[in-house]
Amino acid sequence: MGRYAVLVTGPAGSGKSTLCTSLLTHAQTTGRNLHLFNLDPAAENFEFKPTVDIRDLIGLEDVMEEMQLGPNGGLVYCFEYLLENLDWLDEQLGAFEDDYLIIDCPGQIELYTHTPLMTRLLTTLQQTYQFRLCSLYLVESNFIDDVNKFFAGTLSAMSSMINLDCSHINVMSKMDLVKRGETAQRTKGGKNKRELDRYLDPDPLLLMEEANASSNPKFHALNEAIVQLIDDFSMVSFMPLDATDEDSVGSLLSHIDHAMQYGEDEEPKEPKDMDMGDFEDA
Ligand SMILES: Nc1nc2c(ncn2[C@@H]2O[C@H](COP(=O)(O)OP(=O)(O)O)[C@@H](O)[C@H]2O)c(=O)[nH]1
Ligand SMILES: [Mg+2]
């Protein structure tokens, strides 16, 4: 039926691993066959055992120790090592015909925004293994405090989208925390739902007005340019996600399926229980 891979990206702590677990749990209850691919060489525990795990090839701690590298240099080394040892990936991926991989990525966003390493891996998945790809970029709802942080989150999501060059969905994670903020006292950095809804699918003009109202006039041209850029790339909208809510996870999975045209190349099935005699007599 084809091969599909969902790349779950975003900054550290944005909820990537939790989302991967929720997607796999959802798949289990709905009878779908999803596999976890752990691409984080520094990951620790998983609720679901990864089907493919980069730590079977190389682990960050060993690299840091042996190569005398820090965590970021070590991570880059791990990805370079993976790309030099694609026969390992071949062994891992070769056995499956119908795959739907959920790829849990490291939180160092420079991997998808600054270096070509992730792009090269995706090109291999696409060209050598004929995977259809979709990337998610998670931004934490609590982070989106004001329009300037919305710009920062959106621009890093855009940078990742341009670098990875595949179907892309922006996700605003941890929406359950925001819902709670609606009735509870607003905590520092917390937003209530109505305030945040403005950032899920905002009107670019309103964004610009809001940014201009809170900044020095000498930055207005910059605000306008950023809003124009966000609008040009149709990057403004975020899909809300509460990873603890089955409906929310199911709805995101439908969007992902749609983005990758999941199942659309499936051959139409013969009707099994239909009495074909009715048609032959007619
Ligand atoms: N309330 C709430 N917490 C979440 C949600 N998703 C993740 N978290 C919490 O956020 C923290 C970081 O999540 P994790 O999945 O490890 O983030 P990662 O670094 O992007 O993989 C953990 O404590 C999670 O329990 C969510 O939808 N709602
Ligand atoms: Mg994680």
Say yes or no: CB of residue 246 within 6 Å of ligand 1: no
Same domain, 135 and 262: yes
**For the chain, what is the domain count?**
2
- Return the pLDDT at 1: 65
Q: Of 76-85, 138-147, 175-184, 193-202, give the range with the top mean pLDDT.
A: 76-85
- Return the pLDDT at 121: 92
Stretch 194-219: mean pLDDT, rounded? 84
Q: 């993976």: which residue's tokens?
A: 82
In angstroms, rounded to a whole number, what is the distance separating the alpha carbons of residues 138 and 172? 6
- Identify the three-state secondary structure at position 224: helix
CA angle 103, 107, 110 (to 5 degrees): 105
Same domain, 149 and 214: no
Say yes or no: CB of residue 11 within 6 Å of ligand 1: no
What average pLDDT does the chain have? Answer: 85
Rounded to a whole number of angstroms, the distance between the first and last alpha carbons of the chain is 34
Same domain, 226 and 258: no
- Return the pLDDT at 188: 45
Stretch 197-205: mean pLDDT, rounded? 79
Q: Which two tokens stand for residue 61?
A: 């701690």
Assess whether pLDDT exceeds 60 at residue 107.
yes
Pocket test for ligand 1, best of 14, 18, 191, 252 (most atoms within 8 A of CB): 18
Neighbours of 239 (CB within 10 A): 18
- Return the pLDDT at 10: 93
pLDDT top residue among 189 and 229: 229
Q: What is the dihedral sign for C-alpha 248, 254, 257, 258?
A: negative
Assess whether pLDDT exceeds 60 at residue 270.
no
- Return the pLDDT at 143: 83
In angstroms, rounded to a whole number, what is the distance separating the alpha carbons of residues 182 and 149? 20
In a domain, 272, yes or no: no
Q: Using the atom order of ligand 1, give the atom closest to the CA of residue 12.
A: 19
- Return the pLDDT at 180: 58
Same domain, 171 and 213: no
- Return the pLDDT at 257: 95
Stretch 78-90: mean pLDDT, rounded? 92
Q: 């229980």: which residue's tokens?
A: 273
Say yes or no: CB of residue 22 within 6 Å of ligand 1: no
Asked if 190 and 159 touch (Cβ cutoff 8 Å), the reply is no
Residue 179 pLDDT class (50, 70, 90 cuts) = low
Q: Could you say which DSSP state residue 187 is in?
A: P
DSSP lists the bridge partners of residue 167 as 134
pLDDT top residue among 145 and 209: 209
Stretch 28-34: mean pLDDT, rounded? 92
Same domain, 68 and 85: yes
Distance 235 CA to ligand 1 centre (A): 23
93: nearest Cα among 44, 53, 58, 40: 53
- Return the pLDDT at 281: 47
In a domain, 220, yes or no: yes
In angstroms, what CA-CA distances link 177 with 16, 42, 63, 142, 226?
16, 27, 37, 8, 28
What's the CATH number where 183 sits? 3.40.50.300
Residue 194 pLDDT class (50, 70, 90 cuts) = low
Give the domain extent around 211. 202-234
